[in-house]
Amino acid sequence: MKMFVGLGNPGAKYAQNRHNVGFMAVDQIAADHGFAPWRAKFQGQVSEGRLGTDKIVLLKPETFMNLSGQSVGEAMRFYKLDSTDITVFHDEIDLAPAKVRLKAGGGHAGHNGLRSIHQHIGPHYDRVRMGVGHPGHKDAVPGYVLRDFAKADAEWLDDVLRGLSDGAVALAQGDGPRALNAVALRVAPARSSTTTPKAKPASAPDPDPPAADTRSALQKLADKFRQ
């Protein structure tokens, strides 16, 4: 069994915030893969299902972001999981919008949700880092992540969420490259191999072609000796 944790803040006020993209990701997985209805447990919302042959628990902590580790730790102990069985989906300001990267272990880089999880289960868990961009100055970060995604972000955000859902089985199997490839196919789909290449422009005609030589062979010979 493995657990996928989406980070965010509970309530309609925060539902479309950049900080809530982790909630959005696990919601997409639950909807696409036929998981059980969400139910309240472990100071959060839980849904259970399967990705391929793997049993997966989805968790959305409702303790607010800064206390996410309380919910994660409680669920981990209940299911008797190791921290390495847990994958956390979270917003990442150090990645450009639509970029997704995977990371195993390491620091929390100042992310308050990850900081709390570190405190409760340690640093040895996997992360799906979902790029939301940076406001340009560190003092602007809190307000930036707690604002809704812009309308212009809707298309790439939908592609990323669907791509992560497409790659969820691979992620559960530990195949990170295949999971990321599923995202890439949504965000930047490959060109069709049946696309007809553009025809090369025809060479321009010679503007002043040489005149045809109409002399007879005898005239040519005579002219040669006159030169």
**Per-residue pLDDT tens listing for the chain (227 residues):** 999 999 999 999 999 999 999 999 999 999 999 999 999 999 999 999 999 999 999 999 999 999 999 999 999 999 999 999 999 999 999 999 999 999 999 999 889 999 999 999 999 999 999 999 999 998 999 999 999 999 999 999 999 999 999 999 999 999 999 999 999 999 988 665 555 555 545 544 555 555 556 666 666 655 655 55
The whole-number pLDDT of residue 7 equals 98
Integer Cα distance of 9 and 113 in angstroms: 10
Please report the domains of the chain, with CATH numbers, ordered by start residue: 2-187 (3.40.50.1470)
Cα–Cα distances in angstroms (integers) from residue 20 to residues 10, 13, 67, 198, in the given order: 9, 11, 14, 44
pLDDT at position 224, please?
57
- Give CA–CA dist 106/181, Å, rounded: 23
Neighbouring CB atoms inside 10 A of 203's CB total: 6
Is 19 an annotated catalytic residue? yes
Residues 59 and 4 sit within 8 Å (Cβ to Cβ): yes
- Most distant CA atoms of the chain, gap in Å: 111
Task: Give the pLDDT score at 142.
Answer: 92
pLDDT at 196: 52
Can you give the pTM of this predicted structure?
Answer: 0.82
